[in-house]
Amino acid sequence: MATITDVKLDKPVEFCPYYERGGYASPIDGAQSFIMKPDDAQTLVESLIKVNKLDLIEESLQSLAVRRDGTVLKTAMPLLSEVKASFSLIDSVPHDLLKMIHAWELQGANEIHIDFEARC
């Protein structure tokens, strides 16, 4: 698996809600993604390290997609419940993201895909 050193934290990070069942994940129809600013992404990663929860990202981090412009992505796919539990331990999560996670859960999401730009 990839590690956090394999991604660019000086680029925006996209959080997207998914419904996973039986090993197959589908995006939640009509749900808006959240784009995290690079400074917030760096702070979030530092906070996860402090509470020994970086595995939230690294456990599933892998190359799954390439943007239309050719940008290679690394995607983490933690369960929504794991994201909520880990984020409850830190205070650096943007309030707007926390609100979106709650809304995604109400829409049926149970997994969050976190897309980082990959280091080449």
pLDDT tens, 3-33?
Answer: 999 999 999 999 999 999 998 999 999 999 9
Any idea where the domains of the chain sit in the sequence? 4-118
Distances (CA, A) of 110 to 10, 79, 106, 113: 28, 6, 10, 10
Tell the residue number behind the tokens 């390290």, with chain if given.
Answer: 49
d(CA 98, CA 77): 17
pLDDT at 17: 99
- Across the chain, the runs of DSSP E, i.e. the strands, are 7-8, 13-21, 24-27, 34-36, 62-66, 72-76, 111-118
Task: Provide the Cα torsion 17, 110, 79, 28; round to 10°.
Answer: -20
pLDDT at 1: 74
pLDDT tens, 64-100?
Answer: 899 999 999 999 999 999 999 999 999 999 999 999 9
- Determine the 3-state secondary structure of 43 from DSSP: helix
